[in-house]
A and B are shown apart, each in its own frame.
Chain A
């Protein structure tokens, strides 16, 4: 689902490294971004995602590695010569200028005459649906409106890349969803390359063509949302994206099929493809499954873990059943709201059924 239009520039991040003394904020990151692609850099704080963005922007010069934009080496080009658009976390509009002058500012830097500056700035404001707000001051606008002005300012000079540093984290939830759609719309309309930093995985999954998950300065996985969600490549990604149940087990035999011993739930035979990490017989492993793939069944059947029900949470569209297995692991099952639970109540013992096709198997231990 990558849109490739001529308006975007390709970006190549080549073995980027950023060291602060002994700390490696970015540790060998390589990503190739296609022209016109919407890429999200996703990760917890300290993962290095902002540093990568700042290196692309030219605000941070890396310790090693290169940044290529449309094939040209820009690693040490000063930020103001890179002709990129940037939107910051806290809008960063110039408080002493009017909205129109804010948006026209980049055009002023490029030497355009006043009349033309103002005309194009007005156009950009119309694009973000703020036509007519030009005379106001930033302080008179709401958070969402200010962020849209920041967007207008970032695209008014038609850059080929738009960089966004957690631009929606300062907005409240409803506004955030509205702005997400706004940004997506802008992206399809303009066809520029977008690099979007966020710590909110829901945001990344809904907005981006591809998502790069970062942790401790390294890329854990990069790919379309569906791949990340359905087949996370590392334990970290599995736990970071969406909700996931993790059940400790032992790999008993590994071959065409994999046999695992799950506590007191017996031995399960699983297709070899469920193993994401290569496993050796006898190794400790973690069984992972999404809560919405779990169903309730009679205890004793195959692929069923008995658990004592702790809580049943009704949330309109879904029912969340939280239970505790015998080894103490908390398990969650998300069922359709209309499911008939046959008067199940907290304290009862029920079976959590793990369908084989939905299981993922990871090596237990610290994630890489």
Chain B
């Protein structure tokens, strides 16, 4: 079926390329826009300057927002990967019974719109003084990231032979030692890539941060939102480019971890 040049195939390919252009071009236009000299956004941009990047790194408030987002993201990554791994291990290796409740709670944060969760958390956190605080952000983002960590770790755990821990125990290891020395090394790549997903989800998260933000402590997405609304200058595309580079680096890292996991150690023992 390849290589046929009849009209219908040509039209199909043309349509597909048009859709791909639709997807890609708006995103790509961000890059040149970040170098424009005027302090309003235009495409194509006039002039060429790195000034906006400089302003981002130099501005105290942008840096504060970035710092806050980084802190939240790192803590979220740690919390989500630890809690998620523990829960996944318990679900796969543990006593049966809570299966359906677990599943419902797991996909809850995915199904329920973020705005519902954002508003609910805002209301609740206001009354207990967590709104706009670092712990508040971390708790909220961990809830959002948990399902993805669980899926990633579960995929690895399902590939680990259940008998491996039993074999380790027959060699004299306690259950925890068996987990530490046998299971954990085998699922570690997935735990780490789950942590990276959690990082990205937290770092880019706009909706919950929007509502939980206080007056002073804004996360990076919240500041970007405000600026897009009120004061759209090329600094936004500049930050977007930097964020994209960071995302690409992180997602590549997660990809490398996962493919490495498939090559070493997880090949099953049949032949």
Q: Point out residues on A near B: beta carbons under 8 Å.
A: 57, 59, 78-81, 83-86, 88, 90-96, 105-106, 109-110, 138-139, 142-143, 146, 153-154, 157, 163, 170
B267 within 8 A of A: yes
Are A84 and B264 within 8 A (Cβ)? no
Known: A95-B265, A96-B264. A90 touches B270 (CB 8 A): yes
Are B269 and A86 in contact, with the CB atoms below 8 A?
A: no
Partner of A95, one of B168, B175, B267: B267
Taking CB atoms, residues of chain A closer than 8 Å to B269 are 90-93, 95, 138-139, 143, 146
B29 within 8 A of A: no
The answer to whether residues A109 and B172 also contact, given A90-B163, A95-B269 and a CB cut-off of 8 A, is yes
Interface residues of B in 170-187 (CB under 8 A from A): 170-175, 177, 181-182, 185-186
Specify which of B164, B174, B270, B271 is in contact with A80 (CB 8 Å cutoff). Answer: B174
Q: Is the CB of B172 within 8 A of A142?
A: no
Q: Are B172 and A83 in contact (CB under 8 A)?
A: yes
Top 3 nearest A-B pairs (CB, nearest first) are: A109-B172, A106-B171, A96-B265
Report B-chain residues with C-beta under 8 Å of the C-beta of A92. 161, 163-164, 166-167, 269
Q: List 24 A-B contacts (CB under 8 A).
A: A79-B169, A80-B175, A83-B172, A88-B166, A90-B269, A90-B270, A92-B164, A93-B167, A94-B164, A95-B266, A95-B267, A96-B182, A96-B186, A105-B168, A105-B173, A106-B172, A109-B172, A138-B269, A139-B267, A143-B269, A143-B270, A143-B271, A146-B269, A170-B270
Task: Given contacts A90-B270, A109-B172, list 14 more A-B pairs with CB under 8 A.
Answer: A79-B170, A80-B171, A80-B172, A84-B170, A86-B170, A91-B269, A95-B186, A95-B266, A95-B269, A96-B186, A106-B171, A109-B173, A138-B269, A153-B171
Bound: A138/B265 CA distance, A: 9
A365 to B166, CA, bound (A): 42
Is there an interface contact between A142 and B163, defined as CB atoms closer than 8 Å?
A: no
Query: CB within 8 Å of A: which of B151-204?
Result: 161, 163-164, 166-175, 177, 181-182, 185-186
Query: Are A85 and B170 in contact (CB-based, < 8 A)?
Result: yes
Q: Which chain B residues lie closer than 8 Å to A154 at the CB level? A: 170
Report chain B residues within 8 Å CB of A84.
170
CB distance from B180 to the nearest CB of A (A): 12
A313 to chain B, nearest CB (A): 33
Complex CA gap A231/B196 in Å reads 67
The one of A95, A109, A146, A170 that contacts B171, using a Cβ cutoff of 8 Å = A109
The answer on a CB contact under 8 Å between A96 and B161 is no
Give the chain A neighbours of B173 by CB distance below 8 A.
80, 105, 109
Give the distance to chain A from B192, nearest Cβ to Cβ, in Å. Answer: 15
CB distance from B189 to the nearest CB of A (A): 11
Which residue on B lies nearest to A84, using beta carbons? B170
* In the bound complex, CA of A110 to CA of B269 (Å): 26
Q: Report chain B residues within 8 Å CB of A170.
A: 270
Inter-chain CA distance A140–B173, complex, in Å, is 25
Cβ distance A180 to chain B, nearest Cβ, rounded Å: 19
Complex partner residue of B167 from A88, A96, A157, CB under 8 angstroms: A88
> CA A146 – CA B167 in complex, angstroms?
14
Decide if B270 touches A94 in the complex (CB within 8 Å): no
Flag if B166 contacts A157 (CB, 8 Å): no
Task: Give Cα A249–Cα B266 distance, bound, in whole angstroms.
Answer: 59
Contacts of B168 in A (CB 8 A): 94, 105
Of the candidates B166, B167, B177, B270, the one having the most CB atoms from chain A within 10 angstroms of its own CB is B167
B167: chain A residues at CB < 8 Å are 86, 88, 92-94
Across the interface, which residues of A come within 8 angstroms of B270, CB to CB? 90, 143, 170
- Inside 8 A of B267's CB, which chain A residues have their CB? 95, 139
User: In the complex, A327→B43 CA distance in Å?
Assistant: 96
Contacts of B163 in A (CB 8 A): 88, 90, 92
Nearest chain B CB to A343's CB is how many angstroms away? Answer: 49
Which residues of chain B have C-beta atoms less than 8 A from A163's C-beta?
170
Q: Is the CB of A105 within 8 A of B271?
A: no
Collect the chain B residues with CB atoms within 8 Å of residue A90's CB: 161, 163, 269-270
CB distance from B55 to the nearest CB of A (A): 48
Closest partner residue, chain A, to B263 (CB atom): A139
0/1 per residue, B26-62, Cβ < 8 Å to A? 0000000000000000000000000000000000000
Question: A95-B266, A95-B269, A96-B185 are known contacts. Are A109 and B177 too (CB-CB below 8 A)?
Answer: yes
A83 CA / B172 CA spacing, docked (Å): 7
Q: Which residues of B contact A109 (CB under 8 A)?
A: 171-173, 177
Give the residues in chain A near B171, CB-CB below 8 Å.
Answer: 80, 105-106, 109, 153, 157
